[in-house]
Amino acid sequence: MDNNRVDQFVGQLWDDEIVPQLVEYIRIPNKSPMFDKDWVANGYMEQAVTLMASWAQRQPIPGMQLEVVRLEGRTPLIIIEIPASGPETGADTVLLYGHLDKQPEMTGWDSELGPWEPVIRDGKLYGRGGADDGYAIYGSLAAIQALQQQGVAHARCVVLIEACEESGSYDLPAYVDHLAERIGKPSLVVCLDSGCGNYEQLWCTTSLRGMAGGNFTVKVLSEGVHSGDASGIVPSSFRIIRQLLSRLEDEATGRIKSEALFVEIPVERREQATKVASVLGNEVYAKFPFLPAMQPMGDDLVELVLNRTWRPALSVTGADGLPPLGSAGNVLRPQTSLKLSLRLPPTLDGKRGGEILKELLLHDPPYGAQVEMDLEKASSGWNAPSQSPWLTASIEDASLAAFGKPAMYMGEGGTIPFMGMLGEKFPGAQFMITGVLGPHSNAHGPNEFLHIGMGKKVTACVAKVIADHHAASVRGDTVGVAAVAGGQQHGEHGCC
């Protein structure tokens, strides 16, 4: 394979077609169902599906079959099947994954930017969803076309693009079972929904945290009352919810108190964290938009990396029962509700994490207050299996060819539900989880952007790995993949 020709082909396709496609995709406010209860009536999800499927169908890929699958009552899913270039790999399959649903708008965008207003500036495409991860279907097909343009052999490829990842991928298990025969027996899974430590080399994800979370409510009255009349007699729902959260989290340090929510961190992951800290230096924390004089939660860079990837952590991501400041009267409010997001270590059972969360918060509430925990997510994380020598060599060669620097490996703090599901179904599969979400790209937040140059290079790296997978398959190095277990039951999954 001529790497220069791959770079040229991929770069041209990105400039001519993919970036314009992503510009149109960003304009569509296709929020995930959790954030748009009327997603069917609003039609934005359908617009995104049509945009992507129409582009994919126009690509000159011999034998490609595309279908938008619609199970009743579920979000749609795009499946693309591309036959192998020859019979050498048999039924061996490469599975490429992404999603097209988006997080909500979020406040704080710069004046010239917005979630649904695409802006290209300094090689970055700003707007919601381009990097997380609308580019996945385009990058996947571009990588395959780059190989075919040179006549480079590849195994059968299946592309899956789901539409509720940001809501926890609750529809995906049904689709995986429904499409079991068409998915086949993947020995390599490529996921483009992850992050990168910088834009200077290829980064591959070795672990993902799980998540338990939902809506936590404390009620003290049937209606609000005059605060001057009631304060000192009626306990504040805010104070009680704060007191209950202190059972879970040390408010002074942020450390989770329950030892049952921790796991032993593998030696290999500690070694990788040490290398990541050495390569990134202060960028481990400097990539975040800290206010002046703000400091991270510690000065040991390795520990900060492990905090982000292998330790539990709590975020309060929303609140209810609190009126806006401009209309907040002197009222002792009847209730306070918080949306909690508790990140779990990769190897902790998500269901157990959810049980621990509920036990801590609901047991014996102060003053006999009424407490409720609507657990929306209880997802296990994922820890990558040992990497085959062929894949390690391929990823390294791909990074050197595209970036001129070696590949890096690190865990991610978020969750990709599909990875844990695939790990269970295909225990012999190898994983290449990568992405373009690097410093300041701010997925889920304001000013989210896609680094276009990184997108091109990651696409080229995927092409290289797919080509090397074919060679390994012919040698028999990918043998030992488990078949799809149709009808398998799945637990709830948390979103990225």
Amino acid at 367: Y
Query: Does residue 336 lie in a domain region?
Result: yes
**Are residue 185 and residue 252 in the same domain, yes or no?**
no
Q: Is residue 463 part of a domain?
A: yes
Domain final residue pick, 325, 358, 378:
378
Closest CA to 100 of 138, 71, 65, 142: 138
Amino acid at position 485, single letter: A
| pLDDT band for position 350 (cuts 50, 70, 90) | very high
Give pLDDT, residue 361. 98
On whether residue 112 sits in a domain, the answer given is yes
Instruction: State the average pLDDT for the chain.
Output: 94
Residue 488 pLDDT more than 80?
no
Same domain? 26 vs 72: yes
Does residue 485 lie in a domain region? no
The angle, 0 to 180 degrees and rounded to 10, between the axes of the packed helices 44-57 and 19-27 is 170
In a domain, 295, yes or no: no
Q: Do 173 and 258 sit in the same domain of this protein?
A: no
Q: Given pLDDT bands bounded at 50, 70 and 90, which one contains residue 491?
A: very low
**pLDDT tops 50 at residue 371:** yes
Residue 392: its pLDDT value, please? 97
pTM tops 0.85, yes or no: yes
Q: Which of 333, 356, 378 is the last residue of a domain?
A: 378
Confirm whether 496 is domain-assigned: no
Q: Based on the fold, state whether residues 232 and 146 are members of the same structural domain.
A: no
Q: In the Cβ-directed half-sphere of 48, how many Cα atoms lie within 13 Å?
A: 36
Residues 162 and 251 in one domain: no
Confidence class for position 243, pLDDT limits 50, 70, 90: very high
Give the 3-state secondary structure of residue 218.
Answer: strand
Q: pLDDT for 377-390, tens place per residue?
A: 888 899 999 999 99
Which pLDDT band holds residue 479 (cuts at 50, 70, 90)? low
Residues 347 and 464 in one domain: no
CATH of residue 224: 3.30.70.360
Write out the two tokens for 128. Answer: 């919601």
- Residues 94 and 149 reside in one and the same domain: yes
**Residue 170 vs residue 363, higher pLDDT:** 363
Which pLDDT value is given to residue 485? 33
Q: Which domain holds residue 158?
A: 3-208+381-475
Per residue, the 3-state secondary structure of 367-435, as one string, reads HHCEEEEEEEEEECCEECCCCCHHHHHHHHHHHHHHHCCCCEEEEECCCCHHHHHHHHHCCCCEEEECC
Residue 482 has pLDDT above 70, yes or no: no
CATH of the domain at 387: 3.40.630.10
Identity of the amino acid at 466 = I
β-sheet bridge partners, residue 342:
212, 314
Provide the pLDDT confidence category of residue 271 given band limits of 50, 70 and 90: very high
Which pLDDT tens digit goes with each residue over 304-338?
A: 999 999 999 999 999 999 999 999 999 999 999 99
Looking at the fold, whether 114 and 171 belong to one and the same domain comes out as yes
Q: Are residues 118 and 17 in the same domain?
A: yes
Looking at 332, 348, 378, the residue that finishes a domain is 378
Are residues 343 and 394 part of one domain? no
Is 494 within the bounds of a domain? no
Strand pairing class (430-433; 185-191): parallel
Q: How far is CA 204 from the centre of its chain?
A: 13
d(C-alpha 473, C-alpha 92), whole Å: 7
Per-residue model confidence as pLDDT tens digits over 405-455: 999 999 999 888 778 888 888 888 999 999 999 999 999 999 999 999 999
Q: Which tops the pLDDT comparison, 490 or 460?
A: 460
Residue 270 belongs to some domain of the structure: no
In tens, the pLDDT along 149-158 reads 999 999 999 9
80 and 196 part of one domain: yes
Report how many domains make up the chain: 2
Answer yes or no: do 36 and 138 share one domain.
yes
Q: In this model, does residue 480 exceed pLDDT 70? A: no
Q: For the residues 42-53, what does the mean pLDDT come to?
A: 98
Q: What is the pLDDT of residue 424?
A: 82
pLDDT band at 495 (very low <50, low <70, confident <90, very high): very low
